[in-house]
Structure 1
């Protein structure tokens, strides 16, 4: 591993590049004191980089942590084109996380870090704490992935209960065939759009425009980089979604690190009800926080409540 910044101090608000697991990847460290603990954020998607959103809604975390916001390989500022012959697997991202974690711990002279995962990033987070618990103080999730097949069934049931549109209902009836066909990405995006339309992603909203605007105004992304973000998101879904659909943590009930769940009560994008059923069965040190006015994005829908829950839990 190598980096364009060799000093041990914090490069506040600066984008840094690390040659990580064979690929240049970019991240930003937000913080005030080098001695603060490291908090590594794993974004969702796959491919849904989110630095402008974290800066807008969660920058207060940087008063307590060296908050590391990483654009994962092929996504956002770390975009490069995947190919049929050369594309990553979920295990590739777990190894990326390991190498980045080791680098950060060495850089900030610490033994362990805090890990936060959202949606796709929560699947990476659970896999990571299973194989490398020795590097993690505590795992915090939101939009926790448990069983993707069950999540899809819940999405369909949610939309069905919120629409009387004949075309939408016909689409839901034929979804299993559509997702197995050649135009499966189109079917997947259509189902997601219907969940969003009926308020199952952002509570009280029928679109995600408020999560798009920060990218246009942050000054972090050039026009080319904004286009690359879109390309990175699409290719990540294309090459990783089928593997993600096989994800099932239902029978895993123990972790070597404490776990905290921050879940939107109105999340039907990645069902918080399924996550809660799983949480009940976990026998490790654990905490659960409901966000009553949130869907899939509690850290951006209720950021003050999110900050309070995280600080309360990690101070124990």
Structure 2
């Protein structure tokens, strides 16, 4: 049996280097499942590796895609046959931008019937990162103040909802007023538009001169450095992304600010997490979704897997953040 897959054999502009090919579908091995994919969101974390940013740890040719949802078609030896026909997130296996994905059964996450495909498909990268950042890395407590930049993004909206769920106060940082109303409704305490207001002075005013307890940086560059100057002494800044492509000179910043800098990548957590803890995090997030306390973004549009170049171009050229672009296949 053959199936379509998206692949790239050289690094470059994603819509120019990805191609669609037929691939022989291999049977799942010991402890593996074979999943017929349904939906996959296109995330920045899917596209950045294609550009060559992480060329030192990517072997070509490669198949993109870190998350998505599908139906278990076959189960290898030692895998429960109860998974057959069930919807799962086939994580930590092959790239998800293909019709059939092989993945380790132990990390496959069962999806309740009440959660829609498009929601399930985006349960991994942003929700897990946001949850772990708040609970396991920063250990935010009731009424702690957290500052987050690029808060109009998908993950920014999740941080706003977690503020309401966990009880901390979120100062959401944006570069325009487009998302202010929505972020406040979702759970942010304040929204700062840095094109109009100095971040540091605004945070100090909102915290009666103390500064925030913690900050989360997805941007890097001057934006990341500015966050550090909005923290109180011995506060913590957590870096989870580099959307600007510009690193922060953290050694220089910490000397001037007396803040702690931490780095978080899901792959580091994956390397040490137990199977039980892994599934507990997903079960917690799915409970929040079914209880309508957490809502992920609705799709902006769907593209068939065979139209991946058009889909990637749409994802890269989208203005604002009005929903994910999805790759779909039946």
TM-score in terms of structure 1 length: 0.29
Tell me which structure has the larger Cα radius of gyration.
Answer: 2
More strand by percentage: 2
